[in-house]
């Protein structure tokens, strides 16, 4: 029976044989599993229908990976030690020495650093392109191009990528597509449904949702997901049982949190858009956003829970951060508490200055991850900080 999103969030990823009457999945806090004899051990290697060593598999890892896969309409999922390890596993599923990658130019700083400074050492070339400019990025395709990487909503300026069109063009050239769905989550969009090959999440963010877990998830279909599992095991980036359990627990309230946070974010964006000390607001829910119509078609009337904005007087940036009381400053997002960050000096600090300026990541840019607090309190705290002298 096809279940609704909230029902799947609550009940997905649990195996009856592992519950033994427990209402929730227990924490299998063990590094290894025992066998009664050589025959049972051999059956593991032949069929893989049980567990042996937690780096190679654990009920909590499986529960989280399968639960997110169910929400994404994927066949299976792999839980990894962080969002970055999820991205690495997805990339290595498709590329090797001599291959070429296309990556959206405005992407999480950690992803671009991985591509530019680590994978480049192994003969993997990356070209950063503007995926909102179809003619331009299509010209960057080479015969060695094996993979395209993008987010649905970019970090931190919240451009909306037309994933349907990107997948269509990539398919015509035999290029695999990996989509980072961290900002939007399967509550807003499911890239696998329109042809993406793998979807990755920093489960540290909305999947976990409470700023108490570091994890990643890769979801997709076989045989690709089998290769992701191999890479995760061989590179030692499997998720610990307790972290996987925390991720599964947080996932149960994903729909509730996203509903409230998306609603709050739209009201906050409208407030900031009218504030005299705010120069520009980046949020797809505003009708002035260049991708508003695409976002409405893609997400309905929910536009995510991150709002970025630039203050009019960037020399006051530290005063503004010091002025927050309810809202905390931290280099992350997606917790139940509202959080602000400064992309220039955190997530994108390793980009050179010219690249940051070209992208619009300036000193006065603030990224706000809107929480589940009463929206009036969030707005009051923003107003106080913006007017702080």
Beta bridge partners of 148: 102, 177
Q: Which residues contact 3 (CB under 8 A, 6 or more apart)?
A: 11
Count the helices and strands in the chain (H runs, E runs).
Answer: 16, 12
Q: DSSP class of residue 122?
A: G
Asked whether the beta carbons of 340 and 328 are under 8 A apart, the reply is yes
Q: Cα–Cα distance between 354 and 337 in angstroms, integer?
A: 33
Q: Cα–Cα distance between 141 and 175 in angstroms, integer?
A: 9
Burial zone of 37 (CB within 10 Å; 0-12 exposed, 13-18 middle, 19+ buried): exposed
Beta bridge partners of 101: 126, 147
CA distances from 304 to 185, 192, 280 (A): 9, 19, 18
Which one, of 67, 73, 360, lies nearest residue 189 by Cα? 73
Q: Cα–Cα distance between 222 and 40 in angstroms, integer?
A: 26
Asked whether the beta carbons of 90 and 216 are under 8 A apart, the reply is no
Take residue 318 and report the two structure tokens written for it. 């530290």
Beta bridge partners of 369: 306, 339
Q: Cα–Cα distance between 122 and 94 in angstroms, integer?
A: 14
Left (φ > 0), alpha (ψ -120 to 50) or beta: where does 249 sit? alpha
Token pair 């149960």: residue: 252
Which one, of 375, 297, 385, 290, lies nearest residue 338 by Cα? 375
State the catalytic residues: 55, 108, 180, 205
Q: Cα–Cα distance between 68 and 130 in angstroms, integer?
A: 29
């Amino acid at each position: 029976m096809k279940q609704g999103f909230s029902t799947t969030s609550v009940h997905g990823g649990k195996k009856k044989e592992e519950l033994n009457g427990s209402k929730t999945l227990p924490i299998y806090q063990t590094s290894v599993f025992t066998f009664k004899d050589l025959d049972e051990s051999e059956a593991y290697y032949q069929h893989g229908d049980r567990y042996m060593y937690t780096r190679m598999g654990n009920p909590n890892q499986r529960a989280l990976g399968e639960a997110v896969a169910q929400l994404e309409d994927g066949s299976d999922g792999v839980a990894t030690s962080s969002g970055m390890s999820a991205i690495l596993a997805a990339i290595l599923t498709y590329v090797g020495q001599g291959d070429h990658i296309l990556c959206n130019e405005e992407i999480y700083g950690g992803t671009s650093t991985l591509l530019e400074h680590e994978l480049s050492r192994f003969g993997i070339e990356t070209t950063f392109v503007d995926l909102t400019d179809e003619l331009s990025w299509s010209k960057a395709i080479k015969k060695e191009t094996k993979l395209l990487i993008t987010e649905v909503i970019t970090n931190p300026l919240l451009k909306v990528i037309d994933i349907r069109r990107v997948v269509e063009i990539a398919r015509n050239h035999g290029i695999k597509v990996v989509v980072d769905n961290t900002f939007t989550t399967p509550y807003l969009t499911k890239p696998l449904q329109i042809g993406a090959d793998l979807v990755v999440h920093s489960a540290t963010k909305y999947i976990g949702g409470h700023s108490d877990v570091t994890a990643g998830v890769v979801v997709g279909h076989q045989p690709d997901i089998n290769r992701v599992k191999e890479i995760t095991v061989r590179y030692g980036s499997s998720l610990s049982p307790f972290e996987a359990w925390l991720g599964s627990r947080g996932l149960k309230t994903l729909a509730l949190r996203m509903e409230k946070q998306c609603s709050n974010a739209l009201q906050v964006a409208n407030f900031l858009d009218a504030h005299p000390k705010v120069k520009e607001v980046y949020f797809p829910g505003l009708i002035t956003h260049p991708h508003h119509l695409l976002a409405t078609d893609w997400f309905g009337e929910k536009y995510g829970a991150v709002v970025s904005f630039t203050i009019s007087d960037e020399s006051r940036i530290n005063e503004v951060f010091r002025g927050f009381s309810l809202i905390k400053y931290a280099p992350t997002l997606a917790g139940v508490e509202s959080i602000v960050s400064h992309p220039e000096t955190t997530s994108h600090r390793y980009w050179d200055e010219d690249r940051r300026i070209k992208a619009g990541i300036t000193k006065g840019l603030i990224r706000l991850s809107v929480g589940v607090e009463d929206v009036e309190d969030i707005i009051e705290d923003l107003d106080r900080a913006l007017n702080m002298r």
